[in-house]
Amino acid sequence: MATEVSRPSSRRAPRQQIGLIEWLRKNLFSTWYNVIITLVLLYVIFQAVTSFVSWMITAPGWPAAFTNIKLLLTWTYPVEHLWRPQAVTGLVFLLLGLSSGVWGGIVRMVTFGAAAISAGLGVVAFTFPDLPGQTSLPGWLFLFLCAGLLIGSDQLALRLRDRIRWPLIIAWLLSYPAAIVILRGGFGLPVVETKLWGGLMLTLLLAISGIVLSFPLGVLLALGRRSTLPVIRMFCVLYIELIRGVPLVTVLFMGALLLPLFLPGGESIDALVRAIVAITLFSAAYLAENVRGGLQSIPKGQIEAARALGLNVFQTTLLITLPQALRAVVPVLVGQFIALFKDTSLVVIIGLVDLLGAAQNIVGQPQWLGTPGGVWRETFLVIAAIYWVFSFTMSRISKRIEDQIARSRH
Partner 1 sequence: MAVGSPSIPPGKVNIPFYRDTRIIAVIVQIVFAFLVAVGIWYLYSNMMNGLRQANLLPTFSFLSVPAGFPIAESVIEYNPSMTYGRAFVVGILNTVRVAVIGIILATLLGLILGIARLSDNWLLRNVALVYVEIVRNIPLLLQLIFWFSLTRLFPRIQESIDVGGLIFLHNRGVTMAWPQVGNDFDTWMLWVYGGIVVGGIFYVVRRIQFIRRDRPGVALPYAFLIALGIALLGFLVTYLMNGVWPISLSVPVLQRFNFEGGITITNSFAALLIGLVIYTAVFIGEIVRSGILAVSKGQREAARALGLTPGQTMRLVILPQALRVIVPPLTSQYLNLTKNSSLAIAIAYPDLFYVANTINNQTGQAIPVILMLMASYLSVSLLTSLFMNWYNRRIQLVER
Partner 2 sequence: MRKHIILVLAGILSFVLAACGGQAQQAPTTAPAQPATTAPEQPTAAPAPTAAPAATSAPAGGTSAQPAAGGVIERILSRGRLICGVNNNPLPGFASVDSAGVYRGFDIDFCRAVAAALFDDPTKIDFRPLSAQERFTALQSGEIDVLIRNSTWTLGRDGALGLDWAPTTFYDGQGMMVRKDSGIETLEDMNGATICVQTGTTTELNLADQFRARGLTFTPVVFPDGDSTRAAYDAGQCDGFTTDKSGLISSLTLLSNPGDHKILDVTMSKEPLGPAVRQGDPQWFDAVRWIVFATFQAEEYGITSQNLDQFLNSDVPEIRRFLGLEGELGAGIGLPNDFAVRIIRHVGNYAEIYNRNLGPDTPFNLPRGLNALYTDGGLLYSPPFR
Choose the binding region for partner 1 from 90-98, 100-108, 172-180, 368-376 (rule: CB under 8 A): 368-376
**Could you give the CA distance from residue 262 to residue 256 in angstroms, rounded to a whole number?**
11
**Which H or E element spans position 164?**
none
- 5 contact, one of partner 2, partner 1, none, CB 5-8 Å limit per kind: partner 1
Q: Which residues in the 41-80 window bind partner 1 by CB under 8 A? A: 41-42, 45
Choose the binding region for partner 1 from 40-48, 91-99, 143-151, 176-184 (rule: CB under 8 A): 40-48
Q: Which one, of 289, 216, 281, lies nearest residue 253 by Cα?
A: 281
Q: Is residue 19 a contact residue for partner 1 (CB under 8 A)? A: no
Q: Which residues in the 203-222 window bind partner 2 by CB under 8 A? A: 213, 216-217, 220-221
Task: Please state the separation of Cα 212 from the chain's center in Å.
Answer: 12
**Could you give the CA distance from residue 98 to residue 50 in angstroms, rounded to a whole number?**
45
Per-residue CA distances from 300 to 151, 220, 294, 316, 393 (Å) = 43, 20, 13, 12, 35
Q: What is the CA radius of gyration of the chain?
A: 25
Q: Is residue 118 a contact residue for partner 2 (CB under 8 A)? A: no
Per-residue CA distances from 384 to 30, 190, 332, 388, 390 (Å) = 37, 34, 23, 6, 10
| DSSP secondary structure string for all residues of 117-159 | HHHHHHHHHTTSPPPTT--S--HHHHHHHHHHHHHHHHHHHHH
Of the pair 38, 404, the CB lying nearest partner 1 is at 38
Separation of first and last alpha carbons in the chain: 21
Binding mask 307-326 for partner 1 (x = CB under 8 A): --------------------
Q: Is residue 384 a contact residue for partner 1 (CB under 8 A)? A: yes
**Which H or E element spans position 311?**
none
Binding mask 348-367 for partner 1 (x = CB under 8 A): xx------x---x-------
Handedness of CA 199, 200, 202, 203 (dihedral sign): positive
**Could you give the CA distance from residue 362 to residue 382 in angstroms, rounded to a whole number?**
12
Q: Is residue 76 a contact residue for partner 2 (CB under 8 A)? A: yes
- 57 contact, one of partner 1, partner 2, none, CB 5-8 Å limit per kind: none
Q: Is residue 254 a contact residue for partner 1 (CB under 8 A)? A: yes
Question: Could you list the residues that contact partner 1 (CB under 8 A)?
Answer: 1-2, 5, 7-9, 27-28, 30, 34, 37-38, 41-42, 45, 229-232, 235, 242, 245-250, 253-254, 257-258, 261-264, 266, 338, 342-343, 345-346, 348-349, 356, 360, 373-374, 376-377, 380, 383-384, 387-388, 391-392, 395
Question: Could you list the residues that contact partner 2 (CB under 8 A)?
Answer: 76, 184, 186, 191, 193-195, 213, 216-217, 220-221, 223-224, 226-229, 232, 235-236, 256-257, 260-261, 265-270, 273, 276-277, 280, 312-314, 317, 349-351, 360, 364, 366, 369-370
